[in-house]
Structure 1
Amino acid sequence: MRTSSTIRTRGTVKRTTRAAAALAAGALALSLTACGGDDDNGSGDSGDKGGGGKQPGASVTLPKLDGESLSVAAVWTGTEQKNFKQVLTEFEKRTGAKVTFVPAQDPIINFLGSKIAGGAPPDVAMLPQPGAIKQAVDKGWAKPLGAEATKELGENYSPGWQDIGKVGGKQYGVYYKAANKSLIWYNAKVFENAGAAEPKTWDELLNTAQMVYDSGVTPFSVGGADGWTLTDWFENVYLSQAGPEKYDQLAKHEIKWTDPSVKEALTTLAEIWGKKDFVAGGASGALQTEFPASVTQTFTGGDQPKAGMVYEGDFAQVNIGETKAEVGTDAKVFPFPAVGDTAPVVSGGDAAVILKDSKAAQALATWLASPDAAAIQAKLGGFLSPNKSVDTSVYPNEVQKKIAEALLAAGDDFRFDMSDQAPQAFGGTPGKGEWKTLQDFLKNPKDVAGAQAKLEADAAAAYGG
């Protein structure tokens, strides 16, 4: 899984201001600790199977596809996969097509390469990185969106979210799923027992962590077995501390990873990663903890969990839902604190990309660009849509609703996940590149210079010098 002030991806630059970033962070902070309920997981009017056209109550027109079959590949597992299948089921009802979900593995580009080499590519793939979309286009795998999908995208998405799905000026991706990756979730009872308040700055976060530690609970849970969680930590610190211009430059490898700004960010991270007993299980324990477990162990065990806080995006709610904790009451959230002048707002997402151009594949892309599709999964929780036509009232609780409203209020004033913009060999491959080097740095946070040198060597190789 890959979720703060502008989008800048290959060839696309959107202007931003510190004021806009601050506005987005401020909007996010509002009412994040409230919680409401909505148990209606229905998908609305589905119409007769194979009916085609625009169903009653629907916002999108789909063709009749009786007898057509297609497949969708994604790395999603567990509840996320289960919920997405409900979206596919509704597409089947409205068109008469049969859709098969194909479980993929990271890195998905390698997975797709093997499928294509074997002559059995999926019709559509959900790609979690703009860099992966570009690779799919460069390899000749990806097909441009047709007129209907492009029209649906244009009606429902801001220019920035459209632009990150473009390569060479052509639209290839529909960013169906977004993520706000500038959040820290916490066990409310642990904070209450420690007398801790939600921090707004990095120094306050360190003080809060010490209070939690002094109360007898390890402050942080870190899912270090998944290297992408560590890149997300770095990106929030770096964006806030170094600023948006440096962030853009590092994302495009216009400055080196040996730059002093990277040294400063890694040194700042070491204030938590290198602090004895601040990370559950220590470095070795964190490196054996996958992201889902990093969340669940924060919200199990009552007021004596393995950790009091866990950093990650809005999608952590899926995993919180696997515990007995209630979001907004037992599990609360605050924006990633400001390390520099402005709190970071980092986003990520997953885009639908067509690999086999057909009427059915184009229809599915059109469906995924519609508010009808997004609303189905939004109701189920643990999901955030960049589709501005989705009524935020469909989200199942006030926490998720406010996160969604903050994302939409930011418009194009956010920055996309840096590692997701990089070539996959550097920013998106387990055991390699940035993921591996930051895992090594978690193990030895004193070796800042060594981490910088390795990051630069791997980046230079991936970016081509």
Structure 2
Amino acid sequence: MRQPRPVRVIALVVVGMLLAACGAAASPTPATQPTTQPTAAPTVEATAPPPEAGSLTVLSLWGGSERANFLAVIDGFTAKTGIAVQYETARDFLPVMRTRLAAGNPPMIAIIPRPGVMVDFAKEGYLVDLATLGITNMSANYSQAWLDLGTAEGTLYGVAVKANSKSTMWYKPASFAALGVQPPTDWAGLVAIADKYVAAGKIPFAVGGKDSWTLTDWFENIYVRTAGPDKYSELFGGTLPFNDQTVKDAMKRMADLIAVDKYVAGGRQGVLGTGFVDGIGRVFGTSADAEMYYEGGFVGGIALGDVNPSLTPVKDIAFFTFPQIDPAQGTPLIGGGDLAVAFVDNNMVRGFMAYLSSKDSADIWASTGTISPNKNTDTTKYPNPLAVEEAKQVAGAAAFRFDGSDLLPGTLGEQWGTTLQGVIENPTNIDKLLNDFEELAKAEFGR
């Protein structure tokens, strides 16, 4: 637990200034005191001790380095306002939140890792919308894609505080130069590069398909670029069958690339036998045997920090955006994002939510190497040029869709990954695999 600092009279003045900077239109309501914990606590973690007088309570699932990075952001707020923040980590985030809401003891602010959870809380009447909090200029700091992510039933509730892209295709610039190619902008260009590598006696791709979530990410980028963002939302929202023809077409396109032996390190069995980090090593390690690797922006940090510290960003490792397939659909961003939402309306909450939506907090996030979706972030704050490029991709996204497998309820996400491993094992079995998975999805979604 962070030790709160004394709150001075100047704190409320500074909060007012933060709100003014965010276009505050409403005068703040008196501070609401959080409900004290019930005497019959379901679990210690779920009921947490009542906040110390004058402190703001914030809950998220961030631990480790993510916690340390967020505490740097919190320290920036406290330095500006004198308001102490009591931060709690709950790795089992949703059960903890549900128990505390049922007990009438929510945190003042929570950082939500999945937009569907925010939508549920909003529909159930738990959240305070941003306009009520006096935060009215979000469009000045965020692209429409990020405003949409924080919106439920037409009302804006969430501030996107950190994000990552899963639409990054990693490559070796020197290898591309030797092959005489530039990063492709469309699928045909990507396949042409793969064929050119094969002709040169090299293996185009490594794939970490032993960790099945890497295959779901491949599929999601292909599907959103062929069927479009709306169909994507329908599919992972449970209203479009998983054996729909659009799914079959995207699955075949994926299999025609990464389930073809000549295109992937170790052939199809190599895909299924290679884990996520080992796949990075097959492209960027000291004994590399492939030329490109698809996965999210976090690949850069792992490659530079763990796989091969001798790499130089941009010179030895870089990425391009996952290529366009259907020009009508463009290049929507697939990724993850965390949303700050408020459960009470008081001066501290207003100040902190305004701060989280501001350039000031975004610059601190950037200095920790965390990608901020705030389009006014000072990109010179990022620790390396790879992070700068990912940040530009994230902040400028015209359309954003959350990682689809993470949106699936129950165990469907894991089962979906297993289904995709089945496609790699036997690409001729796509119809049966999708029909079988659709039966599971129907039961889980209740349709």
Shorter chain as denominator, the TM-score bin is: 0.7 to 0.9
Alignment of 1:65-84 (within 5 A): 67-68=54-55, 70-74=57-61, 76=62, 79-84=65-70
Q: How many residues align?
A: 407
Equivalent residue number for residue 76 of structure 2: 90
Q: CA deviation at 1:448?
A: 0.8
Q: CA deviation at 1:334?
A: 1.5
Q: CA deviation at 1:224?
A: 3.8
Structure 2 length normalisation: TM-score? 0.73
Q: Give the direction of change, closer, same or farther, for the CA distance of 1:257–1:122 in structure 2 (3 Å limit).
A: same
After superposition, give the CA deviation of every residue in 1:160-183 in whole Å (9 maximum; x if it has no partner).
432331223333311122334322
Q: Which protein shows a greater Rg?
A: 2
Task: Supply the distance in 1 between the matched residues of 2:354 and 2:421 (Cα, whole angstroms).
Answer: 39
Q: Give the direction of change, closer, same or farther, for the CA distance of 1:255–1:461 in structure 2 (3 Å limit).
A: same
**SS in structure 2 opposite 1:150?**
coil
Contact 1:180–1:345 (Cα < 8 Å) also in 2: no
Contact 2:260–2:268 (Cα < 8 Å) also in 1: no
Q: CA deviation at 1:331?
A: 0.8
Percent identity between matched residues is 30
Equivalent position amino acid for 2:76 in 1: E
Equivalent residue number for residue 173 of structure 1: 158
Equivalent position amino acid for 1:378 in 2: A
Task: Supply the distance in 1 between the matched residues of 2:159 and 2:66 (Cα, whole angstroms).
Answer: 18
Contact 1:144–1:170 (Cα < 8 Å) also in 2: yes
Contact 1:224–1:230 (Cα < 8 Å) also in 2: yes
Task: Supply the distance in 1 between the matched residues of 2:288 and 2:232 (Cα, whole angstroms).
Answer: 35
Task: Supply the distance in 2 between the matched residues of 1:119 and 1:286 (Cα, whole angstroms).
Answer: 49
Task: Supply the distance in 2 between the matched residues of 1:439 and 1:149 (Cα, whole angstroms).
Answer: 48
Equivalent residue number for residue 341 of structure 1: 327
Structure 1 length normalisation: TM-score? 0.71
Equivalent residue number for residue 3 of structure 1: none
Q: Give the direction of change, closer, same or farther, for the CA distance of 1:102–1:409 in structure 2 (3 Å limit).
A: closer
Equivalent residue number for residue 309 of structure 1: 292
Q: Give the direction of change, closer, same or farther, for the CA distance of 1:167–1:240 in structure 2 (3 Å limit).
A: closer
194, 197, 201: which one pairs with 2:186?
Answer: 201
Q: CA deviation at 1:336?
A: 1.4
Contact 1:222–1:310 (Cα < 8 Å) also in 2: yes
Task: Supply the distance in 2 between the matched residues of 1:84 and 1:371 (Cα, whole angstroms).
Answer: 15
Q: CA deviation at 1:406?
A: 5.0
Q: Give the direction of change, closer, same or farther, for the CA distance of 1:355–1:464 in structure 2 (3 Å limit).
A: farther
1:150 matches 2:102: no
Q: Give the direction of change, closer, same or farther, for the CA distance of 1:340–1:259 in structure 2 (3 Å limit).
A: same
Task: Supply the distance in 2 between the matched residues of 1:286 and 1:77 (Cα, whole angstroms).
Answer: 31
Equivalent residue number for residue 14 of structure 2: 54
Q: CA deviation at 1:270?
A: 0.5
Q: CA deviation at 1:231?
A: 2.9
Tell me: higher relative CO, structure 1 or 2? Use CA pairs within 8 A at least 6 residues apart.
1
Task: Supply the distance in 2 between the matched residues of 1:225 and 1:122 (Cα, whole angstroms).
Answer: 38
Unaligned runs of 5+ in 1: 1-47
Q: Give the direction of change, closer, same or farther, for the CA distance of 1:289–1:118 in structure 2 (3 Å limit).
A: farther
Task: Supply the distance in 2 between the matched residues of 1:298 and 1:243 (Cα, whole angstroms).
Answer: 30
Equivalent residue number for residue 36 of structure 2: none
Q: Give the direction of change, closer, same or farther, for the CA distance of 1:192–1:144 in structure 2 (3 Å limit).
A: same
Q: Give the direction of change, closer, same or farther, for the CA distance of 1:242–1:347 in structure 2 (3 Å limit).
A: closer
Q: Which moved more, 1:110-119 or 1:190-199?
A: 110-119
Contact 2:78–2:85 (Cα < 8 Å) also in 1: yes
Q: Give the direction of change, closer, same or farther, for the CA distance of 1:81–1:455 in structure 2 (3 Å limit).
A: farther
Task: Supply the distance in 1 between the matched residues of 2:240 and 2:109 (Cα, whole angstroms).
Answer: 35
Contact 1:193–1:215 (Cα < 8 Å) also in 2: no
Equivalent position amino acid for 1:377 in 2: W
1:383 matches 2:365: no
Q: CA deviation at 1:352?
A: 1.5
**SS in structure 1 opposite 2:314?**
coil
Task: Supply the distance in 2 between the matched residues of 1:402 and 1:204 (Cα, whole angstroms).
Answer: 21
Alignment of 1:39-438 (within 5 A): 52=11, 53-54=13-14, 67-68=54-55, 70-74=57-61, 76=62, 79-94=65-80, 95-102=82-89, 104=91, 108-110=93-95, 112-113=97-98, 123-138=108-123, 142-145=127-130, 147-148=132-133, 150-151=135-136, 153=138, 155-192=140-177, 197-212=182-197, 218-224=203-209, 227-243=212-228, 246-247=231-232, 249-276=234-261, 278-280=263-265, 291=276, 294-295=279-280, 298-301=283-286, 304-305=287-288, 307-322=290-305, 323-324=308-309, 325-341=311-327, 343-348=330-335, 349-354=337-342, 360-385=348-373, 387-409=374-396, 413-417=398-402, 419=404, 422-425=407-410, 430-432=413-415, 434-438=416-420
Q: Give the direction of change, closer, same or farther, for the CA distance of 1:163–1:264 in structure 2 (3 Å limit).
A: closer
Contact 1:347–1:416 (Cα < 8 Å) also in 2: yes
Task: Supply the distance in 1 between the matched residues of 2:119 and 2:404 (Cα, whole angstroms).
Answer: 14
**SS in structure 2 opposite 1:163?**
helix
**SS in structure 1 opposite 2:133?**
helix
**SS in structure 2 opposite 1:452?**
helix
Q: Give the direction of change, closer, same or farther, for the CA distance of 1:369–1:278 in structure 2 (3 Å limit).
A: same
Task: Supply the distance in 2 between the matched residues of 1:90 and 1:381 (Cα, whole angstroms).
Answer: 16
After superposition, give the CA deviation of every residue in 1:135-183 in whole Å (9 maximum; x if it has no partner).
3345665554473363363553345432331223333311122334322
Equivalent residue number for residue 461 of structure 1: 443
Equivalent residue number for residue 39 of structure 2: none
Q: CA deviation at 1:80?
A: 4.5
Contact 1:67–1:97 (Cα < 8 Å) also in 2: yes
Task: Supply the distance in 1 between the matched residues of 2:270 and 2:126 (Cα, whole angstroms).
Answer: 40
After superposition, give the CA deviation of every residue in 1:51-103 in whole Å (9 maximum; x if it has no partner).
53439x989589999751524313x5665444333222323333331343515
Task: Supply the distance in 2 between the matched residues of 1:299 and 1:435 (Cα, whole angstroms).
Answer: 25
After superposition, give the CA deviation of every residue in 1:211-235 in whole Å (9 maximum; x if it has no partner).
5466676533334465544333212
Contact 1:175–1:351 (Cα < 8 Å) also in 2: yes
Task: Supply the distance in 1 between the matched residues of 2:277 and 2:108 (Cα, whole angstroms).
Answer: 29
Q: Which moved more, 1:276-285 or 1:121-130?
A: 276-285
Please report the RMSD computed on the Cα atoms of aligned residues, expressed in angstroms: 4.1
Q: CA deviation at 1:184?
A: 0.4
**SS in structure 1 opposite 2:428?**
coil
Q: Give the direction of change, closer, same or farther, for the CA distance of 1:139–1:435 in structure 2 (3 Å limit).
A: farther
